Amino acid sequence: MGFWGKTIGAGMGFMVGGPLGAILGGFLGHAYDVGNEQVRRYNEGDDHSWPEVEQEFDRQYLFYVSLASLAAKMAKADGVVTKDEIRAFDHFLQIELGLSFEERRTVAGVFNEAKDSPEDAVAIARQFRSLIGFQRDVLQMMIQLLFRIALADGELHRDEESFIQRIASVFQMSTAEYQQIKALYIKQTDHAYSILGISRGASDDEVKKAYRKLVREYHPDRMQAKGVPEDFMKIANEKMTEINQAYDQICKERGI
């Protein structure tokens, strides 16, 4: 059973204050009869006052709710959410994550709540960044997933890329980090080098160092331990394949 099946069975008891709490509270209020005694709330505060989420289940729950919320805000980046965008998101959930109809309906509930809420995407991203513990690799995974969702209809629209860049900035990603992630989805000059986050002029030792660093950071077991739900491990494995292929290509070119 995927993560949302377990969540539904557990009663979906994790809740925070702030923008994510408002979205999640609205969703729970519409979908379930959940009393205040069944949720945990953290006090409102500035960007640095959110306590880090410590339980693995809660981190995974937070990841899913944040992804659905940011996906909804990205779909609305041009002012309106179209049926095609909703279908594209459902396609991502079904094909990319393998979620069942019931699980997809639950995630869609969070998506719809976020889509219609006044909560700001930047505030959502800031809260996620703080609650997840400023974990760089988990934040990068979130940006990767936004790219995959944006490309579910086969095209990266200008408003979508602008939105993703804005969220990457909130996550305090450098231009190099952002371009490295983008290279996984959009073909660029020196594509293999872009995936490893280095230039064609890098030395052989720098190529090997960059490759080893990425393997450590994006190993699926490590990603899951940091709070990325198991449903996303297929995507993490695909990223590792991309990294390995890029490294192999460079090694063949250089005769390493």
Closest CA to 25 of 147, 14, 237: 14
CA distance 144 to 159: 16
Integer CA distances (angstroms), 80 to 19, 67, 83, 183, in order: 20, 19, 10, 28
pLDDT at 13: 44
Write out pLDDT tens, residues 203-233. Answer: 999 999 999 988 887 777 777 777 777 777 7
Where do the structural domains in the chain lie, given as residue ranges? 3-254
Closest CA to 74 of 148, 2, 146, 155: 146
Overall average pLDDT of the 48-62 stretch: 67
pLDDT at 251: 92
Overall average pLDDT of the 57-72 stretch: 86
Tokens encoding 4: 């949302």
Min mean pLDDT across 3-17, 51-65, 128-142, 173-187 is at 3-17
Integer CA distances (angstroms), 181 to 137, 185, 192, in order: 11, 7, 12
Q: Please, are residues 129 and 171 in contact by the beta-carbon 8 Å criterion? A: yes
pLDDT at 133: 83
pLDDT at 42: 41
Write out pLDDT tens, residues 156-165. Answer: 888 999 999 9
Closest CA to 41 of 30, 56, 51, 32: 51
pTM of the model: 0.70
Closest CA to 129 of 96, 166, 90: 166
pLDDT category of residue 52 using cuts at 50, 70 and 90: low
252 φ, ψ (degrees, to nearest 5)? -65, -40
Write out pLDDT tens, residues 83-97. Answer: 888 888 888 888 888
